Every structure is written in structure tokens, then in C-alpha cells.
Amino acid sequence: PVPQFEPDPSKKTLVILGTGWGSVALLKKLDTENYNVVVVSPRNYFLFTPLLPSCTTGTIEHRSIMEPVRAILRHKRAAAKYYEADASSIDPDRKVIRIVDNSEIKGATSETEIPYDMLVIGVGAENATFGIPGVREHSCFLKEIGDAQQIRKKIMDCVETAAFKDQSQEEVDRLMHMVVVGGGPTGVEFAGELQDFFDEDIKKLVPEISPRFKVTLIEALPNVLPSFSKQLIDYTENTFREEKIDIKTKTVVKRVTDKTVEAEVSRPDGTKERVVIPYGLLVWATGNAVRPIVKDLMTRIPAQKDARRGLAVNEYLVVQGTRDIWAIGDCAVAGYAPTAQVASQEGNFLGRLFNNMAKTEDHEARIRELSSKMNIGSGNSAEAAAEIEKLEKQLRRIKDIKPFRYSHQGSLAYIGSEKAVADVSWWNGNLATGGSMTYLFWRSAYLSMCFSTRNRVLVILDWLKSKAFGRDVSRE
């Protein structure tokens, strides 16, 4: 039977914001019997982001990498409450959060407050645009399921419009030019997937426009994938050259219009040149920015005044300047990169910490009870003393929680034409590899990391389906 949520006044209320990598790892580990657990997130599912770029071309169908939060909570020992809502503000003095239902369908109540005893913030980050004019209006991001669906639709719209009767050559060139801004892993993986889609499917189905198809990757720094080793950067750039993906490094986008990107290119002689690049599809992948709710909380806590990229946390992931607020993942600044790997390890750590805290309180309460019994002389005092000693011993072990330490398992990225790059920790050293074997490793690693067996099966079926029948090019 599905457990029903009934808040227990004797337990603390633990509110968890978000259903991403951090919050879901915490939920997985947490013994929900110890707290009244309330989860708030506008997204009623967990999203396996590493395979999101594959959804933009239909290599993988989007529902294969989503796991409903209701299904995740159903397996917990004690019921937890889920509200589909955005947390709009946090009041650390009154210990309440304000939540708003921003979904399409709203009831008579669409805004209210939730009190908390303990709060975990795992709201992730939003897309950085650096205030560059035109970005929000004209480009697609690649962070959420809706973004991938929009890109998939637009790619086919560009193709069909380019194939329209009497389209001028200049317009065909523009429509078939797919521009990606940001040479981090998101931009690189998307560019690779896009080129695959063209080479493997569109070329065959719409041959008349295929010679005009071009992918350009624009990066402000001197090279793509700055967080990978030099050898893998070179390997990626060479593979892209073979795949005919044009990489424009030292090129900073300054303005975007509905049909062009305006960028500043730094030449080897130190001069700067302004270029205008026409595009059909523009994907913007320049990294993370702080969400408004996090910014707002930072202004309310004096100890956060110097924090810039998110909530500064201590080694136990407690938000600096607070006692009962923790932050994990992309919205927290703990000295690590904003990755799924970090977020899930942080969530896992908090799960263990909270389970231990509950055990500590239980043990302390039992010790207090036994001591008072001994003081009034009731029961067998020798037995009670022995139990107290045992409990105190256990308590010392439970209380000895080491601070959070991130253990880096390596970085992986797909770069197209069935090749991937990997920087992995190997024994005590590092191994940097690229190529087709790495691609198989990439596939098996991501498969093993999928949330559920259901996800795993669906992803395998999608891979087989697109290999056997080609990707589906219908424009929904």
C-alpha cells in the first residue's frame, strides 16, 4: 500500500526545494520516517541531463530520461509530500518559504506559505546570458526537456523552410546554418549530435539542401572544453574538423538579432574585428547564472554579501550565516564545478547526515530516559547503565561525521560520429582517452547512471530504434 502523508508534530519538518540531481540523490538516501518531508519543485520529474543533447535530434525520446517524482516518493518508507510549485522567496527569520503554482492550470489557491524546521535548497541554476541583447528573444537554451523539444522542432522547421519552392540560395544558406554559442560540454555535445543527425538522416531524406548544411561552434576562449585535458581538447577540435563542424574560438558574441549573431573576433595580431553571422537555428550554451530566489536569499543573509556565483556553504553544506538551511548542487558554492556528479554526491552526503542527526536525537532521548529512571531508582540500574554505555559508544561513532569531500570520478563528453572523450581517474593517476571505444564506455557509463531500470530499458530501445530505422524527422 502507498503510505499516506500525515505530518507528525513530534518530528521536524524538512523542506527540500527542487527535483534535480542534488535533491533526488538526497531523497534516495534519506530515511523519510525521521522527518515530515515536503518536496517543492515546478518540475514533477527528475531529468537525466547527460542524455538531454540526444533528445534534440530524436536519438533518444525525451520521456526516456524523465522519472516522475511521484514514482520516486512511492518507494520511500514513510510518505513525503510533493507540491508542484516554484519557491518564490525564503524568509530565514520566520522560517517559512513562499510557494507559487506557475503551471498552466491553477486552482483557487495558487500561492501560499510552508513553514520549515530544516530547509535544503537544490534549485539549480538558470542560463547565463550576460545581458547580451537579443539572446533571450531569439535563441534556444539547452537545459530542460522543453528546450530540447523546441530545438528538435526548429531544426526540422529550418530544413523544411530551406527546401521550400523558390527559396533563394542566400536564404537556404542562412536557414541551414546552425550556430551554437559556448564551447563547454553542452555546446560541444549538442554540435556533435546535430552533425550526426545530418550525416545519418537528413542527408538521405532531404538531399537537395544537404550540401548547404553547416554547424558553427562559437567560443570566447582560445579553445573548446576548457575543463578537459589538452590532449582531449586537440582530439575534439580535430574530430570536429573531420566532421566539418566549424569552430570559431576567441570569438565573443555581443548581440543577437532574429537572423544574425554579431561577434567580436580577436585576431592573432591583437586586433579585433566585428563579424555578422547569419543563422537559421541558434543554441545558447554559455553556462550558469544564479536563480532569482537564490539571489534574493543572499541579500537577506549578511554573511552571504561577498558570495557571487551562489550560496556560500561550509564543509557540511550549511549555508553560511544560517543554522538550518543547507544548499546543494549548482546553486551552492562549495568549491566544486557545477556538475551532476557534484550535486548527487552532495545530496547523498546530506541524506546520510540527516539520517545520522535523527539517530543522534533518538539515542540522546533514550539516554536521558534511562538516566532519569536510574536517578529515581526504578528498574534494573545495572542493565540501564550498560545500555547507556552502549548507546554513548554508538553516539560517538554517529556524531563523528566527516565533512563533505567530493570524489571526482572523471569527465565524459560525446563529440559526434560515435566518438567520445573521457578524463577519468585511474588508480592513482588520470587517464585521458578519446575515440570509438570511449564512446562505448560513455554509453555504458551513462546507461548505468540512469535513474531506474525503466529509464535504462527505454534508452536502449531508443538507441536501437534510431539505429535501425533512422531518427524520426516529423515536426510535432
Question: What are the residues binding ligand NAD (CB under 6 A)?
Answer: 50, 132, 181-187, 189, 218-221, 226-227, 252-253, 285-288, 337-339, 411-413
Q: Is 315 helix (H, G, I), strand (E, B) or coil?
A: coil
Please report how close the Cβ of residue 188 comes to ligand NAD at its closest, in angstroms.
7
Residue closest to ligand NAD when measured from CB atoms = 184
Q: What is the Cα–Cα distance from 35 to 342, expressed in whole angstroms?
A: 25
Q: For residues 163 and 265, which CB has a smaller minimum distance to ligand NAD in the complex? A: 265
- Rule CB under 6 A: choose which of 17, 233, 263, 289 binds ligand FAD: 17
Instruction: For 106-127, give one letter per residue: b (16+ CB within 10 A) or e.
Output: eeeeeeeebebebbbbbbbbbb
Residue 208's SS3 state is: coil
Q: Which of residues 456-475 bind ligand FAD (CB under 6 A)?
A: none
Exactly one of 186, 286, 322, 348 binds ligand FAD (CB under 6 A); which one? 186
Q: Binding ligand FAD by CB under 6 A: which of 13, 32, 41, 236?
A: 41
Which 3 state secondary structure label does DSSP give 459? helix
User: What is the layout of strands, in order, in the sheet containing 13-17?
Assistant: 81-84, 36-41, 13-17, 118-121, 325-327
User: Residues 232, 421: contact at Cβ < 8 Å?
Assistant: yes
CA distances in angstroms from 57 to 147, 197, 247, listed in the order given: 12, 6, 20
Closer residue to ligand NAD (CB): 58 or 187: 187
Among 32, 34, 36, 49, binds ligand FAD (CB under 6 A): 49
Q: Where are the alpha helices (DSSP H) in 30-68?
A: 52-55
d(CA 352, CA 474): 46
| 423 touching ligand FAD, by CB under 6 A | no
86 contacts 96 by C-beta, under 8 angstroms = no
Angle (nearest 5°) at CA 67 between 66 and 69:
130
From 191-199, 201-209, 331-339, 429-437, span contacting ligand FAD (CB under 6 A): 331-339
Residue selected from 14, 16, 39, 50 as contacting ligand FAD according to rule CB under 6 A: 50
CB of 168: closest distance to ligand NAD in angstroms? 29
Among 58, 92, 124, 434, binds ligand FAD (CB under 6 A): 124
* Of 49 and 438, CB closest to ligand FAD: 49
Strand partners, 97: 90, 114
Q: Under the rule (CB under 6 A), what is the footprint of ligand FAD?
A: 17-23, 40-43, 49-50, 52-53, 86-87, 122-124, 142-143, 186, 291, 293, 329-331, 338-341, 343
